Amino acid sequence: MAASLQFNFKPLFLTKSSTNHATKFATIRCSTSPPSKSYTITLLPGDGIGPEVISVAKNSLQLVASLEGIKFKFNEMPMGGAALDLTGVPLPEETLLAAKQSDAVLLGAIGGYKWDNNEKHLKPETGLLQLREGLKVFANLRPATVLPQLVDASTLKKEVAEGVDLMVVRELTGGIYFGKPRGFSTNENGEELGFNTEVYATHEIDRIARVAFETARKRRGKLCSVDKANVLEASMLWRKRVTLIASEYPDVELSHMYVDNAAMQLVRNPKQFDTIVTNNIFGDILSDEASMITGSIGMLPSASLGESGPGLFEPIHGSAPDIAGQDKANPLATVLSAAMLLKYGLGEEKAAQRIEAAVLDTLNRGFRTGDIHSAGLNLVGCKEMGEQVLKSIDSTVPAAV
């Protein structure tokens, strides 16, 4: 089953180790029936901490598959800086083909200092843009929720952060990141110019608006559309189209907000937001801002979906080259991205809930990586956190779907 926008958008649970370890825990309790469903998953470990967190997520998927009667075939492919070093390009044709032919794609992280000075077409980030474009994924869902176990990790006051539960729906394949003309030139004075184009067509706005309304409908029924319609023509069209689409969803309360005010309100009173829909560049910035309200960018997953074909699932954090290979990374965002893969990409609700519940159970038992650690709790590394999640997966029975 390929990921598509026909799925019933339900909020992730946030709105309410080594292979040997995976094998060990998987033998404790297995499904009583042979696997009845088989899926192909393309794994893109990427750079920095990407291979470490992907390993943990893969182990989690393998264990939950054995418990739920599912079979996974994993294809691990190079991308980003790793692909540059191996093949000379950030997204080899073989990698894109494997991704297109799979049921879902799970990405670790890309980028690093080593490739920062490369020409644009040879930067790891270019590979990510090419992957999104190749898979035709245009809707990026990024949940941001302050879990009760981590409220003290937020940089905001407890009374401001407590209870925050929002979803950013970001348009992913249009706007200034892809608009043309773009490039470099020289003006009449001989000065070098750099220019980009913020452009949106009606169909691009309409389809992301419908995703956002459907998402809000499954949450608390409130949608805030963020734009800069007092200055930008592209935003004027954005607001016009979102307002028009709202007539199809009379049960969803629509509001509009300028992006500068939205950035301020996210730190002033984030609980006012339920679902936010916005364009590519604004969504890129606001979703990262929202993530820090939760206490750590290392906790937040994302899903990128299209009208057909496989979805792309990835943690929103970067490659963190400063801690790569040191067993310091927080793998929970990638584990939760695997849960989103199961839920939105494959429609495996029970398996997704098992992983979500296991993450909560692991936190409840006091295990923390360095980014979310506080006094009196168990400081663990990436591998140990993964092992604890596996224990919780095996012992946690999800609620009925």
Compute CA distances 91 → 74, 204, 389, whole Å.
18, 25, 31
Helix 50-68 and helix 19-26, axial crossing angle in degrees, nearest 10 = 20
- For the chain, what is the radius of gyration of the CA atoms? 21
| Pair of tokens at residue 206 | 């309409």
Tokens 């009667």: give the residue.
69
Distance CA 234, CA 231 (A): 9
Tokens 């936010």: give the residue.
276
The answer to whether 343 and 14 are in contact (CB under 8 A) is no
For 150, half-sphere exposure in the C-beta direction (CA atoms, 13 angstrom radius) is 31
Tokens 């960018």: give the residue.
297
Question: Annotated catalytic sites, by residue?
Answer: 177, 228, 260, 284, 288
